[in-house]
Amino acid sequence: MNLTLKVWRQKNPSDKGGFKDYTLSGISSDMSFLEMLDVLNEDLSEKGDDPVHFDHDCREGICGMCSLYINGQPHGPTQTTTCQLHMRSFKDGDTITIEPWRASSFPIIKDLVVDRSSFDRIIQSGGYVSVNTGGVPDANEIPIPKIIADEAFDSATCIGCGACVAACKNASAMLFVSAKISQLALLPQGKVEKRGRAEKMVAQMDDEGFGACTNTGACSAECPKGIDLSNIARMNREYFAASLSTEEH
């Protein structure tokens, strides 16, 4: 198939950037979206033009490295990661607009590559159970109801890609933050620290400059792993309960 691509090109963080048009022909519908971009980049390289920079790694939908806002939706028209989006989702003659994630907390590095280290800093602020290696009880010491373990797992499947932030009209990171808070608040191992964790992670999220939640549900609808909005509600509960109950001023 033949395609027209409108791709955001930006040399570096301080460059103003803008869209550039490219035409591609002979694209197979079996290609993944990123393979289509590989073809574009091979073309550009052969012509001596700088290839389009984009993040990607595992190409099997689990590492969370790939991003891209494709035709007005994060990871494109299907609810999956960009690496798992295939060209059969498009038609011959389509124009595809490709933009980077847009959020002040995800500054652009180059072209479509953004800096998501704000997510790492949020996890560093409390997204863990404070246990050292060794000296832990036997794994079967604490039974966990299957239903709770499964719910925690659902929250834990977050791949940290940032599609929730990209999709949200407020560039809010609530779905990401709440997924981690939920996972650990549900499990007995994480419950011990749940109050402080909620406070610290929310504070870090705010410091990073992410927006607030309007409960539009766009994050969950676009999340490649289908993380549920109930996580955000749980985070709210945990946070308010923490505010009321912790003894720090």
Partner 1 sequence: MKLDSKIPNGPLAEKWTNHKFNVKLVNPANKRKYNIIVVGTGLAGASAAASLAELGYNVQAFCFQDSPRRAHSIAAQGGINAAKNYQNDGDSVYRLFYDTIKGGDYRSREGNVYRLAQVSVNIIDQCVAQGVPFAREYGGLLANRSFGGAQVSRTFYARGQTGQQLLLGAYSALSRQVANGKVKLYPRTEMMDVVTIDGKAKGIVTRNLITGAIESHSGDAVLLCTGGYGNVFFLSTNAMGSNVTAAWRAHKKGAYFSNPCYTQIHPTCIPVSGDHQSKLTLMSESLRNDGRVWVPKTIPTAEKLRKKEIAPKDIKDEDRDYYLETKYPSFGNLVPRDVASRNAKYVCDEGRGVNETGEAVFLDFRDAILRDGEDAVRGKYGNLFDMYEKITGENPYKTPMKIYPAVHYTMGGLWVDYNLMTNVPGLYALGEANFSDHGANRLGASALMQGLADGYFVIPYTLGDYLASHPNGKISVDHPEFKKCEDEVKAKVQQLLTINGNKTVDHFHKKLGKIMWNYCGMARNAAGLTKAKEMIKELKKEFWSDVKVLGTGEELNLSLEKAHRVADFLELGELMVVDALHREESCGGHFRDEHQTPEGEALRDDENFAYVAAWEFAGEGKEEVLNKEELVFENVKLTQRSYK
Partner 2 sequence: MSWVSKTLNSTLGKKLIMALTGIFLILFLVVHLAGNLQLILPDDGKSFNVYAETMASNPLIRIVSILNFGFILLHAVYAAILTRHNKKSRPIGYAVSKASENSSWSSRSMGILGTLILIFLLVHLRGFWYELKFGEVPIVTYDGVSYKDTFAIVSAAYQNIFYVIFYVVSMGVLAFHLAHGFSSAFQTLGINHKKYTPFIKKLGLAFAIIVPALFALIPIIMFIQGS
Closest separation between CB of residue 249 and partner 2, Å? 5
Part in contact with partner 1 (CB under 8 A); list of ranges 17-25, 38-46, 165-173, 236-244: 38-46
Instruction: Provide the β-strand partners of residue 73.
Output: 70
Q: How far is CA 109 from the centre of its chain?
A: 17
Nearer to partner 1 among residue 4 and residue 12 (C-beta): 12
Pick from 171, 161, 154, 160: nearest CA to 229: 154
Closest separation between CB of residue 162 and partner 2, Å? 13
Nearer to partner 2 among residue 58 and residue 212 (C-beta): 212
Q: State how far the Cα of 70 lies from the Cα of 5, in Å rounded to an integer.
A: 10
Binding partner 1 (rule: CB under 8 A), the pick from 50, 92, 206, 207 is 50
- Gyration radius from the chain CA atoms: 20
Part in contact with partner 1 (CB under 8 A); list of ranges 49-57, 93-101, 164-172, 226-234: 49-57
Q: How far is CA 140 from the centre of its chain?
A: 33
For 66, which DSSP code? -
Q: Can you give the binding site for partner 2, defined by CB under 8 A?
A: 6, 19, 69, 71-73, 77, 97, 99, 102-105, 167, 169-172, 174, 202-203, 205-206, 209-218, 221-222, 229-230, 232-240, 243, 246, 248-249
Q: How many CA atoms lie within 13 A of 163 on its CB side?
A: 33
Closest separation between CB of residue 226 and partner 2, Å? 12
Q: Which residues, 167 to 186, sit near partner 1 by CB under 8 A?
A: 183-184
Nearer to partner 2 among residue 59 and residue 97 (C-beta): 97
Q: Where are the beta strands (DSSP E) in 64-192?
A: 69-70, 73-74, 95-99, 108-110, 113-114
Q: State how far the Cα of 125 lies from the Cα of 127, in Å rounded to an integer.
A: 6
CB-CB contact of 193 with 181 (8 Å): no
CB under 5 to 8 A by kind: which of partner 1, partner 2, none does 39 bind? Answer: partner 1
Q: Is 115 in the site for partner 1 (CB under 8 A)?
A: yes
Binding partner 1 (rule: CB under 8 A), the pick from 75, 86, 195, 234 is 86
Hey, is 134 helix, strand or coil? coil
Nearer to partner 2 among residue 16 and residue 47 (C-beta): 16
